[in-house]
């Protein structure tokens, strides 16, 4: 079964990524992959966070929803995980 992906729409300003990843760190919850990019005029960003299935995932989503800069949170199971594959670097 593919790993779940949390999709976030957040306000785009310095420190938002730190607040979100800090929440995961404080809960000892590992992020398997992160993708982030601006949306529209750049005032908002969309983030995709690949995580492992865990019984604490529901609680973590509730905590993400309470963060000041989080506008929406969606748990996605339909994401093509190839977008998280690391770039292969030739030596």
pLDDT at 48 over 70: yes
**Domain range list for the chain:** 5-79
**CATH no., domain 5-79:** 3.30.70.260
| CA angle, 12 then 71 then 80, to 5° | 85
Is pTM beyond 0.85? Reply is: yes
pLDDT the model gives residue 78: 86
Phi and psi at residue 79, in whole multiples of 5°?
Answer: -85, 140
Q: Write out pLDDT tens, residues 72-84.
A: 999 998 887 787 7
Confidence tier at 36 by pLDDT (50, 70, 90): very high
Residue pair 4/64 in contact (Cβ under 8 Å)? The answer is: no
């Amino acid at each position: 079964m593919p790993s779940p992906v949390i999709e976030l729409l957040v306000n785009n300003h310095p420190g938002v990524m730190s607040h979100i990843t800090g929440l995961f760190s404080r809960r000892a919850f590992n992020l398997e992959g992160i993708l982030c990019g601006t949306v529209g005029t750049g005032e908002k960003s969309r983030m995709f966070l690949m995580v492992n299935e865990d019984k604490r995932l529901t609680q973590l989503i509730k905590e993400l929803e309470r963060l000041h800069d989080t506008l929406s949170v969606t748990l996605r199971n339909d994401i093509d995980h190839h977008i998280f594959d690391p770039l292969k670097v030739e030596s």
